């Protein structure tokens, strides 16, 4: 018992997570992940044993939508039968249908990408957006060491995103770049925030943060870039495509409510309640409470003009909590929040136990969906709430300090006068 107590105390203290151990752990983890990923790729392509049917990823949905746009029939991306036929023409018959519920802005992006061969397009998109995320994340943490790079690459959500063929690298990169630039280059920050209109629910709290914080140049730039992207897609793809999207989006909630996407893969409180057997009404009610809480925290933190790391960590983590549809690969946005927490540690000393908390989130993401389904425990939601709690705690501690006036040069990463 005494030994167990000492171990628990050591883990809680964070003393165990030295720089040397971190390097060894993340390097070992990355090697294992690469090996497992290669095995899975070989298995899903029938290189180990023959397959009875065809497999695919979410990426085929994006690629097929782009192909339909190239064919002059972009609205068919929102016709399930036609879109499925386009997917099967790319990867073979018998696959599970991958829905396309994105606005035409995203389809316009994939129209040129669909000119590439499918596998080339997959690798190019994932690699380019990963590199963009790594560039932004390393700028956020201000650490360009090999260990930092390996730790970012070994973050389990990276491999979930790759394996599922999703776009979370792009979302995290845009969100991270916007927060990085919001004080120094507000117009560029607004352009990055506006580009999130391809996945608009991830910008749910952005207008609130920018508005209450008085970041009006960023606010206007975000609004203008959104309008421009919508108008460009409208010109390229036509009103019929937008009309089809609006009809599809209006009915898409039934798919997410049904469990077709495993609730163990949800990050949101909505998914947590559904995983634990709660009804749809209760799930939405709980989601509403957490969304309101997240919005209140964001409003206070951004209104008070706390340091950039604190504001950014709160906004990124609160977004994961506030939106009802966030899935395990979207924890890449959690990585952005974590990077800002680490950046903020240079300004306000991080309690040693926070290292353990961040390490536990990191480790839990290895098979968070499997653990959630096996234990009926919302692992992803717990990770997101812990991140939000750490960011909120950081904000509360900063509010309790006797800080210089907003914009003072003596405060690293402080918000400048706007």
pLDDT digits (tens, 9 = 90+) for 154-190: 999 999 999 999 999 999 999 999 999 999 999 999 9
In the predicted model, what is the mean pLDDT of residues 124-136?
98
Q: What angle do CA 149, 186, 347 make, to 5 degrees?
A: 50
Interval 187-215: pLDDT, tens: 999 999 999 999 999 999 999 999 999 99
Flag the least confident range among 89-98, 122-131, 193-202.
89-98
Say what the pTM is: 0.91
Residue 327, beta-bridge partner list: 266
The pLDDT assigned to 20 comes to 85
Average pLDDT over residues 114-129: 96
pLDDT of residue 355: 85
Supply the pLDDT for residue 256: 87
pLDDT confidence of residue 250:
87
| Residue 38 pLDDT greater than 80, yes or no | yes
- Band (403; pLDDT cuts 50, 70, 90): very low
Residue 404, pLDDT score: 41
In the Cβ-directed half-sphere of 222, how many Cα atoms lie within 13 Å?
A: 31
C-alpha count within 13 angstroms, C-beta hemisphere, residue 255 = 13
Q: How confident is the model at residue 414 (pLDDT cuts 50, 70, 90)?
A: low
Looking at residue 259, its pLDDT comes to 84
Q: What is the mean pLDDT of the chain?
A: 90
Query: Helix 156-164 crosses helix 118-141 at what angle (to 10 degrees)?
Result: 160
Give the C-alpha distances (Å, rounded to integers) separating 192 from 131, 221, 269, 333, 390. 16, 9, 27, 14, 25
Per residue in 327-342, pLDDT (tens digit) is 999 999 999 999 999 9
pLDDT higher than threshold 90 for residue 304: yes
pLDDT over 70 at 243, yes or no: yes
């Amino acid at each position: 018992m005494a030994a167990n107590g000492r171990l628990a105390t050591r883990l809680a203290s964070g003393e165990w997570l030295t720089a040397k151990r971190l390097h060894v752990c993340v390097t070992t983890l990355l090697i294992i992940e690469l090996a497992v990923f290669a095995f899975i790729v070989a298995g899903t392509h029938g290189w180990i044993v023959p397959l009875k049917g065809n497999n695919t990823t979410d990426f085929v949905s994006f690629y097929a939508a782009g192909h339909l746009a190239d064919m002059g029939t972009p609205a068919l991306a929102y016709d399930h039968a036609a879109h499925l036929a386009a997917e099967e023409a790319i990867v073979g018959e018998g696959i599970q249908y991958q829905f396309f519920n994105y606005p035409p802005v995203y389809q316009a992006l994939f129209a040129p990408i669909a000119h590439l061969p499918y596998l080339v397009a997959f690798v190019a998109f994932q690699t380019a957006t990963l590199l963009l995320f790594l560039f932004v994340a390393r700028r956020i943490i201000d650490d360009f060491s090999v260990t930092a790079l390996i730790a970012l690459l070994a973050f389990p959500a990276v491999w979930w995103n790759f394996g599922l063929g999703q776009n979370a690298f792009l979302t995290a990169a845009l969100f991270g770049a916007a927060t990085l630039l919001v004080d120094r280059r507000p117009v560029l920050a607004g352009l990055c925030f506006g580009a999130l209109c391809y996945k608009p629910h991830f910008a749910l709290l952005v207008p609130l943060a920018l508005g209450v914080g008085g970041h009006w140049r960023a606010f206007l730039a975000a609004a203008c870039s959104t309008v421009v992207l919508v108008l460009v897609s409208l010109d390229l793809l036509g009103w019929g495509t937008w009309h089809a999207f609006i009809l599809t989006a209006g009915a898409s909630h039934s798919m997410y409510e049904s469990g077709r996407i495993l609730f163990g893969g949800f990050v949101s409180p909505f998914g947590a309640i559904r995983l634990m057997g709660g009804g749809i009404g209760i799930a939405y009610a709980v989601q509403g409470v957490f969304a309101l809480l997240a919005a209140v925290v964001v409003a206070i933190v951004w209104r008070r003009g706390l340091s950039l790391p604190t504001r950014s960590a709160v906004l990124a983590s609160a977004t994961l909590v506030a939106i009802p549809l966030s899935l395990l690969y979207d924890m890449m946005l959690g990585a952005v929040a974590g990077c800002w927490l680490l950046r903020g540690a240079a300004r306000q000393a991080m309690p040693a136990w926070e290292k353990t908390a961040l390490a536990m989130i990191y480790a839990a993401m290895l098979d968070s969906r499997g653990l959630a389904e096996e234990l009926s425990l919302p692992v992803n939601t717990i990770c997101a709430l812990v991140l939000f709690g750490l960011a909120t705690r950081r904000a509360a501690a900063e509010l309790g300090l006797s800080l210089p006036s907003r914009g003072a040069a003596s405060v690293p990463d402080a918000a400048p006068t706007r």
